[in-house]
Structure 1
Amino acid sequence: MRAAHLLLALGLALVLGGCASSSVDSLAPKTAGNVDLKRYQGKWFELARLPMRFQEGCAQSEAHYNLKPDGSLGVLNRCRTEGDEWLRAEGRAGIEAPGHTDKLWVEFDNWFTRLVPGLTKADYWILYVDDHYRTAIVGSPNRKYLWILSRTPSLPAWERENLLSKARQQGYDTSRLIWRVSDKAIVARH
């Protein structure tokens, strides 16, 4: 009897272990494929994002990427608070695996990253970019982070809904998105 329980437990562990290892990739969101980082560089407006601690109080955010000779990207993120103050964070992004320009890591330059280099790298997966590199969806594989980006600070409703639909199909909860506050709304508060 004891041997039967041991075999059953061992069999269950093997089955569950096999399921866990084989389903990790199937659970991860699908990325955009080959992304031309030269075309991706430049200024992007954040139209919407999932809530995150490090962007609390940001009414408007934008990201500036510039391609470096070594293939990495310089990153400058700017955040305009509802108090009309601009905050900034600088860092860099790199390719996670050679040949996969849609899966990047990003690391910002601050006292903590200088204290423990490499430990603070975060996934930056490009899930979608349109053919003209005008709109993009970026997220993390665990679906905790999501950004909807555009080269312009606003989009027509149909285009915004198209991007939301793509994010939902990837398993992201778009009902929790925080949307960019308009310039007029920020000015009106002051």
Structure 2
Amino acid sequence: MMWRKGTVLSLGKAWSGAQECRVRIDGETEAKALAYTPMVGQVRVGDEVLLSAAAAAKKLGTGGYLMVVAIPGRLPADPPPAPGHIVKARYTPLQYMTMGADEQESPWHEQLREADSIEGLPVVVADLHSALPAVVAAIRARKPDARIAYIMDDGGALPVWFSQACSRLTELGHILGTISARQAFGGELETVNI
């Protein structure tokens, strides 16, 4: 881990579960950062934040974002007691508790209890998340009324919230939403496997 302290200077674009911000790091340089609001709460201008900088420092696939790990001066309240006992990002400092779609408390439990096959359903497999908009456009061109769901697994970004494509495609009604599978999390539905 490469830790940094920062101060939020301004807020940028926000989308489903994510908030961009501009931060001053250690009182010197400025950088862009990303907060996953369901995990760390809503960032505000003037907040002191704890940041993870390793991926950005190595210029890896975070889009240059430092990641907001916590707002130490204003930690979010504990969530209300909720059903579900699935832990995603397990064995990491940022474990995320959620309810699996097939758990008994889930509104989808009865529907999924007897499901044992996807026989007859068309499935598209793509090796890169960036193919999603093109795949959706191709399907819509041939079948405009298709009901499309996207399954994000842990082969890419763990939090669905990072994906502006998922957020925008859902917002526009081009996909029904996202199912996050395995260690990926943040979808409208959560599952432990595909």
Larger fraction in helix = 1
Q: Which structure's relative contact order is higher, taking Cα pairs within 8 Å and 6+ residues apart?
A: 1
TM-score (norm 1): 0.25
Q: Which has the larger radius of gyration?
A: 1
TM-score (norm 2): 0.25
